[in-house]
Amino acid sequence: MNAASVFFRVMNAFGKPIIMNVSDRIDEIRVDISRLKSEGKRIGFVPTMGALHSGHLGLIELAKKNSDIVVVSIFVNPEQFGPNEDFDRYPRQLKDDLEKCRSAGVDLVFTPERSEIYDEKKFLKIGIDKLSDHMCGGSRPGFFEGVLLVVNKLFNIVTPDIAVFGQKDIQQFQIISKMVKEFNHPVELIMAPIARANDGLALSSRNAYLSDQERKAAPGLYRCLQYIEKQIQSGVDTPKLLIEHQKGELEAKGFKIDYLNVFDSKTLEPSETLREGNNYILAGAIWLGKTRLIDNILIEF
């Protein structure tokens, strides 16, 4: 056990110590997990970048319901940030995160440094065909390749039976689902619904960047998605004009639109005409000042 590894001990209702093991080392995590697996325990996994909020805690809760042991990873993955993105200023609050994990009943927390996960030079990449051409993939080149790289590694390290990801990052969920299928990862994926603040804003670690004024305006994205959803549910099957109009409304309120559209839930390509019986993702990403916010609603047409 190295210096960065910590044991958290608290007492449960029966006075028995509950131990949350925290390690930044792959070999330690592997030893713990193979012991637990040899005891017949089902491993649930929640990968995160930290700065934990109620959305993450919802994922942990779902993992607890579907497994015996919950493993959380906290790693701000440099490979999924572009050169001009917010890697350096991404919120890091490990102490607070560990406290939240402990209170939520997490069993193991993996907190690797960059050098534990990545070699200085990498010779291999994971490529994505088409699924990352639109939505967040369209405006953040290389983002999903970086996500797949780290999730692939984390799955190989943690070897979970189930893994929970949030609907908030729906494109991420769909692309990881494809990776699991095509690379034969023996893991079942569970999607957690979007956790929202009372005013509808999807919770996000990046909400911490918002000024008071931006925070007040931020739920406008969800309200706009809800309005478009309502129109679609009441029969609009070619939503292009409706969406263009809503973009204008958002821009008038000071939002800068990255994308706002309806996408086919399987191909993740924009859908101009909605067909009965198909599933769609109504999704948007906007900039409020220096903060990029995303949100989505799933639509069964």
Residue 69 makes contact with ligand AMP by CB under 6 A: no
Burial label for 160, CB within 10 Å (0-12, 13-18, 19+), is buried
Question: Among the candidate windows 51-59, 111-119, 210-218, 227-235, which touches ligand AMP by CB under 6 A?
Answer: 51-59
Q: Which residue's CB atom is positioned nearest to ligand AMP? A: 166
* 163 binds ligand AMP per the rule CB under 6 A: no
Q: What is the largest CA-CA distance in the chain?
A: 62
Q: Which C-beta is closer to ligand AMP: that of 105 or that of 278?
A: 105
Least gap, CB of 252 to ligand AMP (angstroms) = 26
**Residues 184-223, mask of contacts with ligand AMP (x by CB under 6 A):** --------x-xx------xxxx------------------
- The gap from C-alpha 90 to its chain's centroid, in whole angstroms, comes to 15
48 neighbors 56 (Cβ within 8 angstroms): yes
Closest C-alpha among 241, 270, 255, 289 to residue 137:
270
Annotation says 185 is catalytic: no
**Sign of the C-alpha dihedral computed for residues 174, 178, 183 and 184 taken in this order:** positive
60 binds ligand AMP (CB under 6 A): no
Residue 64 found at the interface with ligand AMP (CB under 6 A): no
| 243 close to 229: Cβ distance less than 8 angstroms | no
Closer residue to ligand AMP (CB): 117 or 194: 194
Nearer to ligand AMP, 167 or 247 (CB): 167
Distance, CA of 284 to CA of 301 (rounded, Å): 19
Residue 50 CB, nearest approach to ligand AMP (Å): 6
In the complex with ligand AMP, the residue whose CB is nearer, 151 or 243, is 151
**CB-neighbour burial class of residue 156 (10 A; exposed 0-12, middle 13-18, buried 19+):** exposed
What values do phi and psi take at 179, rounded to 5?
A: -60, -45
Q: Pattern 3-42, binding to ligand AMP, x per CB under 6 A?
A: ----------------------------------------
In the complex with ligand AMP, which residue's Cβ is closer, 200 or 254? 200
Q: What is the sign, positive or negative, of the torsion defined by CA atoms of 152, 157, 160, 164?
A: negative
Closer residue to ligand AMP (CB): 97 or 107:
97
Closest contact distance (angstroms) between CB of 17 and ligand AMP is 29
**Does 71 engage in binding with ligand AMP (CB under 6 A)?**
no
User: Which one, of 90, 76, 60, lies nearest residue 206 by Cα?
Assistant: 90
3-state secondary structure of 61: helix
CB of 215 to ligand AMP, least distance (A): 15
Q: Given 53, 56, 134, 185, which residue is catalytic? A: 56
Pick the closest to residue 158 from 76, 44, 23 (CA basis): 44
Count, residues near ligand AMP per rule CB under 6 A: 17
111 binds ligand AMP (CB under 6 A): no
Other CB atoms closer than 10 Å to residue 122's CB: what's the count?
9
8 Å CB contact between 191 and 165:
yes
H or E element at residue 80: none
The residues of the shown chain that bind ligand AMP, judged by CB under 6 A, are 48-49, 55-56, 58-59, 165-166, 168-169, 192, 194-195, 202-205
List, by residue number, the catalytic residues.
56
